[in-house]
Chains A and B, each alone.
Chain A
Amino acid sequence: MSSLLQVSSLTKKYGNFTALNDLNFELESGHITGLLGPNGSGKTTLIKIICGLLQPTKGVVSVNGNPVGVNSKKVISYLPDTTYLGNSSSVKEIINYFCDFYEDFDMQRAYDMLATLGINPNARLRTLSKGTKEKVQLILVMSRRADLYILDEPIAGVDPAARDYILNTIISNYDENASILISTHLISDVENILDEVIFLRQGNIVRHSAVDDIRSNEGKSVDALFREVFKC
């Protein structure tokens, strides 16, 4: 398997506070990786740097061999942990917007998913509930045929039924050569779909293992191991 994402000596400091401390890891194509850690462990900071939303203090991130920039953004489909869509647009207009900027955007896939969820493409975003907006966002992100999907807390704050839908959407809409990096602390919900996990604590990687290795070597689920490692 080829390396899709390479993170080398990555450090991010805010004044005297170190958010990420000399991180080194690689992600291969075709894997679903859980980026796991308690609140404030640096998950979102790491994701923002990979997506080009933050500048690192030190270190290098490359995607498919390209530094963070236009070429890396072309192949990353990113779902932030916040609603980023302007309220004045309609769902249809946002789809056209994505279609214009992302060559890999599959419009038909987006409309199919909207139809499945019964979301009217002509509806203005301001008329949609927060949960529906999040679903529209997920549809936009998963309608791309990207190499790397980065999903920051995709199931936080939604009911269990919606969680199932979101996870099904993620699993059924990515190509097998693509990779997914999911940040969450709701481990039991995502554990079954993960191939590997990265445990992050106070900006340091404390574990990077395959899920099967954890189960066979430790005799525990990822959720149980997480609770043990991050015990307060």
Chain B
Amino acid sequence: MLGKLLKHDFIATWKVMVCIDVLLVVLGVLTALVIRTIPHVDDSFGMSMFMFSFVGVFYIGIIAANIVSLIYLVMRYYKNLYTSEGYLTFTLPVKTDMIIHSKVITGSVWMFLSYLFTLISILIAGAGFFSTVDVSREKLHEAMMEMFDFLGFGDPVFVATLLFTILITPVAAVVCMYFCVSIGQLWQNHKVLGSVLCIIGLYMFNQVVSQLVFIVSGFWNIMSQTGADIDASFALLYRNILLLLSIVTFIQAVIFYVVCIIIARKKINLD
């Protein structure tokens, strides 16, 4: 039955989500074209301003696209489960857990694709920028290799942590928002307000947790520092922060997932 739920969830969402992903690529291509073309055509102050404004629009656009993707998926979760559509969803002959699994899998796949297309969009825009600066490919390649070395791409633990972070981030983003929607359902009235307050509360909580992670990582870094190599020390700090944040995000996602299932199983109260 999970397969059928997934099939219908993907069918219901693909049009909007693919449109957003295409829009991201189009934004990247347009930005690259503007960056590449304008300085050759007209290098006046007005056109330069236009170019920088366009780059601004690009940044706002990619952030907005990701926010819209997440809001769309969360709205679907809310509507399918906790509005009148829930009368159909919860009377299907499937286990409640499967319904949540389906929503989380669908949402995570779409958010992963949103992030991926955001990266593609940035790379396209970046390619437009690098085509205008006078730098050889070899030098660019060399600089990138240096950066990768500095970040620790040669270290298998770091690469594993990075891959884990890349996989867990879209899942955590979706589950976190589903959790807030589910918590809102525990309110007798003003359920949407309850969800919004939960989002705000969770955001504040996560800010505190992030600060703690930074402090712990920094402290650990100072304690383990040999003083010989400042670059190595920064790289270590960066890796520790990534590792700790990914662990915290994973634990949080698991807890939120379980809470979503418990609320859907035990506390549904459709109006």
Q: Chain A interface (Cβ within 8 Å of chain B)?
A: 48, 51-55, 69-71, 73-74, 76, 78, 80, 82-86, 88-89, 97, 100-102
Contacts and interface: CB of A to CB of B under 8 A. Distances in A.
B4 A53 contact: no
Given A70-B95, A100-B8, A102-B93, A83 B266 contact: no
Interface in B84-115: 84-88, 90-95
Interface in B52-97: 79-80, 84-88, 90-95
B91 A55 contact: no
Nearest to B5: A101
B244 interface: no
Place the interface of chain B in its size category: 20 to 34
B4 A84 contact: no
A130 B92 CA distance: 23
Ranked 4 nearest A-B pairs via Cβ = A84-B87, A73-B93, A74-B93, A80-B87
Nearest to A78: B91
B270 interface: yes
A52 B85 CA distance: 14
A48 B90 CA distance: 10
Given A70-B93, A70-B94, 7 more contacts: A52-B90, A53-B268, A73-B94, A80-B84, A85-B85, A97-B8, A101-B1
Interface centre among B1, B86, B92 (most CB of A within 10 A): B92
Contacts of A71: 93
A84 B95 contact: no
A93 B91 CA distance: 18
Given A83-B84, A100-B8, A55 B266 contact: yes
B91 A52 contact: yes
A86 B90 contact: no
B269 A54 contact: yes
B26 interface: no
Contacts of A82: 84, 87
A101 B87 contact: no
Interface of B: 1, 4, 7-8, 12, 79-80, 84-88, 90-95, 266-270
Given A48-B270, A53-B270, A54-B269, A73 B85 contact: no
Interface centre among B1, B86, B270 (most CB of A within 10 A): B270
Nearest to B94: A70
Nearest to B15: A88
A123 to B, nearest CB: 18
Nearest to B95: A70
B164 to A, nearest CB: 34
A75 B227 CA distance: 72
B163 to A, nearest CB: 35
Contacts of B270: 48, 53
Given A48-B270, A88-B12, A53 B90 contact: yes
A53 B89 CA distance: 10
Given A88-B12, A97-B8, A100-B4, A53 B92 contact: no
A101 B93 contact: yes
A53 B270 CA distance: 7
Nearest to A84: B87
A57 to B, nearest CB: 12
A73 B80 CA distance: 18
B95 to A, nearest CB: 6
Contacts of B80: 86
Contacts of B87: 53, 78, 80, 82, 84
B88 A85 contact: yes
A52 B267 CA distance: 11
Contact of A53 (B8, B79, B91): B91
B72 to A, nearest CB: 12
Given A70-B93, A100-B8, A86 B269 contact: no
B92 to A, nearest CB: 5
Contacts of A70: 93-95
Contact of B4 (A48, A54, A83, A101): A101
16 contacts: A51-B90, A53-B90, A70-B93, A70-B94, A78-B91, A80-B84, A80-B87, A84-B87, A84-B88, A85-B85, A86-B79, A88-B12, A89-B12, A100-B7, A101-B92, A101-B94
Nearest to A73: B93
Nearest to B92: A101
